[in-house]
Amino acid sequence: MWVHVPSSKWSGPTIQHKPFEGDFAFGPESTSKEVYERLVVRPGVLDTVLGGGVGCVLAYGQTGSGKTYTISSLEEIISRDIFSAAESYASAHFPGSPTLPKDVFTIGISMYELLGNKATDLLDQESKGVDIAEDKVGHTVERQEPYSIGQFGGIQVSAKVVSVTNASELANMVATAASHRRTSATLKNETSSRSHVLSYLSCSSII
C-alpha cells in the first residue's frame, strides 16, 4: 500500500509517496462485523486472553479517518461476545469442574483517556490518580507531592477496574466512559475525539 504524506521543502509544498507492506486492507464497504471477524475471531484473540495471554486491538491514523467509530463498534461486539466466549472456553477446558462454566471467569473493565500529558479515569471521574516517572535506570517510581506536573508528566495510572457480570453491564460501562470523553468539532466530524482512550478488559479464572 502507498501512503501520500504532505510535506514541505525550501521550494514549497510537496507530497512524499511512501510504500508499506500490510497483511490485508479493509475497503469503505467493509462492515464492523467483518473487521471483528478478521482481527479478533480468526486470530483467536478472545481465547488467547481467556487462556491467560494478552490481546490488543489498536487503531492509529489521522483525524477523521474513523478510528473512534471502528474501535467503538468493536467494543460493542466484544462486550456482547466475551461472556459467551468465556462460558464456552470454560466448558471446553474445565469439563470436570464443579463450578458452572458461566461462573469460572470474572470480567473487569477499566478505561482511561490520554490527552496531552494527562490521563483521566473515564469510569471514576473523582479519582485523582497516581503520577509516575522513571528513575535513572528506567524503573517506574511513584512521585509523592509536592512535584512538578510539567517535570513528571502528570500521568495517572491507577484507573479503576469495574467488575461486570453480564454483557449489558459491560456495554453500559463502555457507553458511560464514552460519554466522558472530550470531543470538539472538526471539518470532517462535529464530535471528533480530541484524545486517545485505552480500554482494558481483565479476565481472571477461579480455577
Q: Are 204 and 111 in contact (CB under 8 A)?
A: no
Contacts of 205 (CB under 8 A, 6+ apart): 50, 52, 90, 104, 105, 106
Name the average pLDDT for the chain.
81
Q: Are 6 and 15 in contact (CB under 8 A)?
A: yes
Percent of the chain's residues with pLDDT above 70: 77
Q: Can you say whether residue 153 is alpha, beta or left, with left for phi > 0 and alpha for psi between -120 and 50 degrees?
A: left
Would you say 128 is a known binding-site residue? Answer: no
Residue 37 has pLDDT above 60, yes or no: yes
40-68: average pLDDT? 90
Residue 169 has pLDDT above 90, yes or no: yes
Would you say 99 is a known binding-site residue? Answer: no
Residue 8 has pLDDT above 80, yes or no: yes
Residue 115 has pLDDT above 80, yes or no: no
Q: How many CB atoms lie within 10 A of CB 198?
A: 13
Would you say 151 is a known binding-site residue? Answer: no
Give the pLDDT band of residue 146 (cuts 50, 70, 90): very low
Would you say 62 is a known binding-site residue? Answer: yes
pTM of the model: 0.74
Q: How many CB atoms lie within 10 A of CB 189?
A: 15
Residue 21 has pLDDT above 60, yes or no: yes
The residue assigned the cell 464530535 is 191
Q: Which of 27-36, 176-185, 190-199 has the highest mean pLDDT?
A: 27-36
Would you say 61 is a known binding-site residue? Answer: yes
Would you say 66 is a known binding-site residue? Answer: yes
pLDDT value of position 67: 86
38-67: average pLDDT? 90
Contacts of 57 (CB under 8 A, 6+ apart): 39, 40, 45, 71, 74
Residue 42 has pLDDT above 90, yes or no: yes
Q: Are 152 and 143 in contact (CB under 8 A)?
A: yes
Would you say 63 is a known binding-site residue? Answer: yes
Would you say 44 is a known binding-site residue? Answer: no
Contacts of 78 (CB under 8 A, 6+ apart): 36, 40, 46, 201
pLDDT value of position 150: 47
Q: How many CB atoms lie within 10 A of CB 131?
A: 22
Give the pLDDT band of residue 89 (cuts 50, 70, 90): very high
Give the pLDDT band of residue 122 (cuts 50, 70, 90): confident
